Amino acid sequence: MISHKVLLVEDEPVLAEIVQESLQSRGFEVVYADTIARAKGVYYDNKPDIIVLDVMLPDGSGFDFARQIRNVDTDLPVIFLTSRSLPQDVVEGFESGGNDYLKKPFSLEELIIRIRALLSKNRLVISQNVGLTEIGRYRFYYPQGELNFDGNSRTLTTRESEILNLLIMNRNQLLNRDELLLNFWQNNDYFSSRSLDVFITKLRRYLKDDPSVSILNIRGRGYKLIY
């Protein structure tokens, strides 16, 4: 099992210890810094897979540190973990290069889900499902997004294609609803949830002509593609 390295930048020692222990118990390797100066050294020495970053730090702003990171690394996921929750703070967080923004107080389980979602999203950029997949009587070409059935062809939108591809890669396994939302919408609010419902409904309609294929709704948990 791959152990992902998390750079945790947090100046509250008690909170940092709780987060560090929780992440380590889930198999993550955690390197810790309590200032931006230390975080820079840790970043260059350890090359983390993701950064969990406080905003208000003793020697500066986490937003500024994120901007510095983005100057040298455009792909590294960054999650802001902060008590600054005004709309302009959230906007600045994303504009400075953040991928996600979690407001204090927060659930450790939600933090872990968001970390896994961002790491999963990065891994899916290079998909192991490129090419042709047979889904019952359907033939699906990814990343082209072409879905064929008995000689009839439909071209899916990019988002439809990505969601279907992820369902295929996890065939007969539960895909957690929150992880889907965080992968594709970067949040799990009501509007994103409704968008996901619309996409699942469309995919079910596209696949309805083969009764051996179905997308099951596991109530309160997620979806499972069966064929």
Give the pLDDT of residue 34: 95
Identify whether the C-beta of residue 148 lies closer than 8 Å to the C-beta of residue 136: no
156 shares a domain with 81: no
pLDDT band at 207 (very low <50, low <70, confident <90, very high): very high
The pair of structure tokens assigned to 68 is: 């510095």
Note the pTM of the prediction, 2 decimals: 0.56
Q: What is the CATH number of the domain that holds 175?
A: 1.10.10.10
Q: How many domains does the chain have?
A: 2
For range 11-31, the mean pLDDT: 94
Both 20 and 35 in one domain: the answer is: yes
What percent of the chain has pLDDT above 90? 47
Two structure tokens written together for 225: 């593609």
Same domain for 9 and 108? yes
Instruction: Give the domain-ending residue among 93, 124, 155.
Output: 124
Q: Do 99 and 152 belong to one domain?
A: no
The answer on 206 and 168 residing in a single domain is: yes
Looking at residue 173, the DSSP 8-state letter turns out to be S
Looking at the fold, whether 42 and 100 belong to one and the same domain comes out as yes
**Model pLDDT, residue 12:** 93
Instruction: State the alpha helices, DSSP H only, in 87-176.
Output: 87-95, 108-124, 158-169
Helix then strand count (H, E) for the chain reads 8, 14
pLDDT at 125: 36
Q: Say if residue 202 is exposed, middle or buried (CB neighbours under 10 Å; 0-12, 13-18, 19+).
A: middle
Share of the chain above pLDDT 70, in %: 95
Q: What is the mean pLDDT of residues 195-202?
A: 92
Q: What is the CATH number of the domain that holds 69?
A: 3.40.50.2300
Per residue in 39-92, pLDDT (tens digit) is 999 999 989 999 999 999 999 999 999 999 988 888 888 999 888 877 778 778
| One domain, residues 101 and 141 | no
Q: Which domain holds residue 153?
A: 131-226
Tell me, yes or no, whether 115 and 139 share the same domain. Answer: no
Please, which pLDDT band fits residue 29 given cuts at 50, 70 and 90? very high
Residues 215 and 139 grouped into a single domain: yes
Residues 106-132: tens digit of each pLDDT: 888 888 888 887 887 544 333 445 578
Among residues 124, 154, 172, which one ends one of the domains?
124
Residue 70 identity: R
| Mean pLDDT value across residues 23-30 | 93
Task: Give yes or no: residues 17 and 118 share one domain.
Answer: yes
Among residues 124, 144, 175, which one ends one of the domains?
124
Is residue 14 domain-shared with residue 81, that is, in the same domain?
yes
Q: How confident is the model at residue 190 (pLDDT cuts 50, 70, 90)?
A: confident
Q: Are residues 68 and 142 in the same domain?
A: no
**Residue 176: pLDDT band with limits 50, 70, 90:** confident
The residue ranges of DSSP E strands in the chain, in sequence order, are 5-9, 29-33, 50-53, 56-57, 60-61, 78-82, 100-103, 131-135, 138-142, 146-149, 152-155, 175-176, 214-218, 222-226
d(CA 168, CA 165): 5
